[in-house]
Each structure stands twice: as structure tokens, then as C-alpha cells.
Structure 1
């Protein structure tokens, strides 16, 4: 197996893994968002400190950042997949050129 073929296979595997991240984080992220609307666990302490709204805003910000990170990983996975495909094609072209030289 050529080096390009090995690199392409490795990159394809990495891209597949990155695409799966969103599937693993979707449920915990949904639960986290739901909890930002129910901050009863803070009890009187949260009310006394007037921190409830700030905590809610912070949790919303974290959820948005997590979603953006998932989107970024998806875009990177797509790019890695495209590079992997290019390596596969280049490997085929190099092999064909070598075969043509041998004649």
C-alpha cells in the first residue's frame, strides 16, 4: 500500500470520527439547555445573589459555543474527506503513470 493510500485511509477514518461527534453530544447538549431554564437547584442562594439570570445566560452561551464547535468539526471533517479523496485519486494517477512508463 502506497504512502498516499495510507494517508487517505487515515484521513478518511479521522473525518468519519469527527462527523460522529455531534451524534454523541446532541442529547447531553439538549439536556444542558433544558436545565438552563430550570435553575431551581440554586434555591434561595441563587435568588439572594441575583445570579440566576447570569447563570442562565452563561449556560446558553456554552450551549451555543458547543453547537458552533460541532459545526466547525463537521466542516473540518468535510475538508479532510475531500483531501482524502484527492490523495486516493492522486495515488491512482501515479500508479497509472508508472504502469504507462513500464508499458
Structure 2
């Protein structure tokens, strides 16, 4: 197996792992988002209302950031897959050129 083929296989495996992240985080992220809007455990006292609002905002921000990270990882996975495919093609072309020459 050539170095290019090894690199392509490694990149393909890494890209597959990145693509799967969203599948593993979707349910916990949904539950976390739902919990951000159910902060009754903090109580309804006036002094806690501000804290409750800040906690909710922080949790909403974490949800948004997690979604952005997932989108970024999906983009990186796509690019890694394309580079892996290019390495596979280059490896085939090099092998064909060796057979010719």
C-alpha cells in the first residue's frame, strides 16, 4: 500500500468520525436546549430571576455554539473526504504511469 493510499484511508476515517459527531450530540443537545427553558429549580424569587435569565442565555449560547461547531466539522469532514478521494485518484494515476513506463 502506498503512502498516498494510507493517507487517503486515514483522512477518510477521520472524515467519517467528524460526520458522526452530529449524530451523537443531537439528542443531548436537544435535551440541553429544552432544559434551558425549564429552569424552575432556580425558583421564582426576585433576586433569582436575573440569575435565571443569565443561565438561560448562557445555555442558549452554548447550544448555538455547539451547532456552529457541528456545521464547521461537517465542512471539514467534506473537505477531508475530497482530499482523500484526490489522494486515491493520484495513487491510481501514479500506479498506471508506473505500469506504462
Structure 1-normalised TM-score?
A: 0.93
Within the alignment, does 1:48 sit opposite 2:47 as a pair?
Answer: yes
Flag as ranges the 4+ runs of structure 1 deviating above 2 A: none
1:54 CA displacement: 1.1
Whole-Å separation in 1 of the counterparts to 2:97 and 2:41:
68
Whole-Å separation in 2 of the counterparts to 1:91 and 1:69:
32
Whole-Å separation in 2 of the counterparts to 1:41 and 1:19:
36
User: Which structure 2 segments of 5+ residues have no match?
Assistant: none
Whole-Å separation in 2 of the counterparts to 1:21 and 1:11:
16
Whole-Å separation in 1 of the counterparts to 2:42 and 2:2:
59
1:43 CA displacement: 2.0
Whole-Å separation in 1 of the counterparts to 2:43 and 2:21:
34
Within the alignment, does 1:98 sit opposite 2:90 as a pair?
Answer: no
How do residues 21-36 of structure 1 correspond to structure 2 at under 5 angstroms? 21-36=21-36
Within the alignment, does 1:70 sit opposite 2:70 as a pair?
Answer: yes
User: Which structure 1 segments of 5+ residues have no match?
Assistant: none
How do residues 7-18 of structure 1 correspond to structure 2 at under 5 angstroms? 7-18=7-18
1:37 CA displacement: 0.5
CA distances 1:18-68 after superposition (whole Å, capped 9, x unpaired): 0000000000000000001100111256x4242111111111010000000
Aligned length: 100
